[in-house]
Amino acid sequence: MGTMGVQSIGFSMLASRSLFFMLRTGTSLYRRRLRYASRQYPPNGVKVMQAWSPQHYRYEAERHGVQDETIDNAIARIELIVANNANVTPVLTLRHLSAMSGVEYGFLRSVISRSMMRKKYRVFSLRKNVPGRTRYRLICVPNEELKTVQDWIVRNILRHTRSHPASYAYHPKSRPEFAAKAHCGCDYLLKVDIQDFFNRVTEGKITRIFRDLGFSDLVSFELARLTTVTAQGMELPEGLSERRWPAIPAYQSRYEGFLPQGAPTSPMLSNLAMLALDEKLQELASSEGISYTRYADDLTFSARKPHEFESMRRFKRKVLTELNAAGFRPNLRKTHIRGPGARRIVLGMLVDGQKPRLTKEFKDGLRQHLHYLTSDDHGPAAHAQANKTSIGGMFHVVRGKIGWATRVEPEYGRKCLIQFRTIKWPPIYVYRDK
């Protein structure tokens, strides 16, 4: 949508008191023209042109009787966002967001006010694969209306931002094998895991992300509320909630929001929330001749000799200090150093050679699946039952493993695929592989 969307705003909305309050600023900005394809926008809006034009915007606003000061502030805000990132769609007010996303203003306001949040998300737990312990991951899936506005935020704002080059998750063309390749041939490997990663990305951090993109303080706060959830145990310090937007009592909440796992906005926002820390860790690693990558909450550092265990231990302490300073908690159970003689694994791949390789455990598991699935004594139905899953579930699990194997070790993956195609699946599960 880009900056063109702002010219579709009904100017009666521009004249509203909320916009006037929100856009008060003395910022003086240069003018710039940007070309975008024309699109159709909500009805009763101003006709869209093929380039963002402050002059056209002013002309249409004056024609609709909007005051000069309001027009100046709107143009200043748009140009601040455009100067930051030409592809990000400016959002001037909550009503503006409602018009562009097609989601009712009252619904957006209720989400921001943290009203009836149980109806806004479907919440369930998934068991984590933690040996010797029972741990669960809380999944929060937004309802249709909330997902609509979150998808709009992804398409028109977040997809146009950039994460740090060391980040290999949650952005186009990101692949875990690329992260693993950066550590191939290393002598020492330091792996650090962030505990409760999404829960540590709070609405305060999200507000700063949108503010850094040029959005006003109020809109940044509202966008943060639309992309976070609350839970007991995340209370704000006493008095802080009352100081947040005192002019809007409905916006006061004693709970600090955090990123929900299951929302379309959370992955990209988590990358942006880590941007400053990624920069610090990259600088720290580079200063000591160490490679750094991050895949979501998995941080990996690798080094070659003359580094040794003691120097890596000192480096680990520096990394943990930076994590704590940024408000993240390292999971010490999953934080360790591996040196010469030990298996060095990154994101499930061996990196002790020149290329990432599949582990023996992975290959043994896949080989076992293929053996039982192709065996006349077992077959898909018996094997699925033995694994307490459906035939369709087994089909997709094994096909997914072969797809992963093909990405890491193409020749091995192709051989497995040939064997997979000989399995006598019930007709409903057979399809043509591309």
Q: What band does 247 get if pLDDT is binned at 50, 70 and 90?
A: low
DSSP 8-state class, residue 167: B
How far, in Å, CA of 402 to CA of 418, rounded? 10
Least-confidence region, from 54-68, 81-95, 96-110, 294-308: 54-68
Tokens 């503010």 correspond to: 211
Superfamily of domain 176-195+274-350: Reverse transcriptase/Diguanylate cyclase domain (3.30.70.270)
How far, in Å, CA of 197 to CA of 68, rounded? 46
Kindly tell me if the per-residue pLDDT of 42 is higher than 50. no
Find all residues with CB under 8 Å of 193, minimum gap 6, and list them: 297, 298, 299, 330, 331, 333, 334, 335
pTM, two decimals, is 0.82
My answer on whether omega of the bond before 356 falls inside 30° of 0, hence cis, is: no
Q: How far does CA 261 lie from the centroid of its chain?
A: 9
Residue 53: how many CA atoms within 13 Å on its side-chain side?
12
Q: What is the pLDDT of residue 221?
A: 95
Query: Is 7:57 a contact under the CB 8 Å cutoff?
Result: yes
Supply the mean pLDDT for the chain. Answer: 84
Q: What band does 44 get if pLDDT is binned at 50, 70 and 90?
A: very low
- Type of residue found at 3: T
Give which of 37, 143, 148 is closest to 101, Cα–Cα: 148
Q: For the chain, give me the number of helices (H) and strands (E)? A: 18, 10
Kindly tell me if the per-residue pLDDT of 192 is higher than 50. yes
Rg of the chain taking only CA atoms, in angstroms: 26
**Which token pair is 254?**
């004693």
Find all residues with CB under 8 Å of 321, minimum gap 6, and list them: none
Least-confidence region, from 138-142, 239-243, 322-326: 239-243
Query: Is 146:226 a contact under the CB 8 Å cutoff?
Result: yes
Please compute the mean of the pLDDT values over residues 188-197 and round it to a whole number: 96
Please compute the mean of the pLDDT values over residues 281-309 and round it to a whole number: 96
Q: What band does 286 get if pLDDT is binned at 50, 70 and 90?
A: very high
Q: What DSSP string runs through 372-400?
A: HHH-TTSHHHHHHHHTTS-HHHHHHHHHH
Q: What DSSP string runs through 62-73?
A: HHTT--HHHHHH
Q: What is the pLDDT of residue 92?
A: 94
Give which of 3, 96, 8 is closest to 44, Cα–Cα: 8
- Type of residue found at 107: F
DSSP 8-state class, residue 5: G
Helix axes 217-226, 203-212, angle to 10 degrees: 130
Q: What band does 40 get if pLDDT is binned at 50, 70 and 90?
A: very low
How far, in Å, CA of 247 to CA of 19, rounded? 14
Please compute the mean of the pLDDT values over residues 301-312 and round it to a whole number: 94
Q: Which residue has the higher pLDDT, 101 or 19?
A: 101
Q: What DSSP string runs through 99-115?
A: HHHT--HHHHHHHHTT-
Least-confidence region, from 13-17, 171-175, 270-274: 13-17
**Which token pair is 367?**
């080989």
> What are the DSSP E strand ranges found in 271-388?
291-295, 298-303, 329-330, 336-338, 345-346, 349-350, 357-358
Q: What band does 2 get if pLDDT is binned at 50, 70 and 90?
A: low
Q: What band does 27 get if pLDDT is binned at 50, 70 and 90?
A: very low
Q: What band does 409 get if pLDDT is binned at 50, 70 and 90?
A: very high
Q: Is 15 exposed, middle or buried (0-12, 13-18, 19+ CB in 10 A)?
A: middle
Q: What is the pLDDT of residue 256?
A: 86
Least-confidence region, from 61-65, 195-199, 257-261, 401-405: 61-65
Query: Is 41:2 a contact under the CB 8 Å cutoff?
Result: no
Instruction: For the chain, give every domain's residue range.
Output: 2-87, 105-156+202-258, 176-195+274-350, 359-429
Query: Is 187:307 a contact under the CB 8 Å cutoff?
Result: yes
Query: Is 258:203 a contact under the CB 8 Å cutoff?
Result: yes
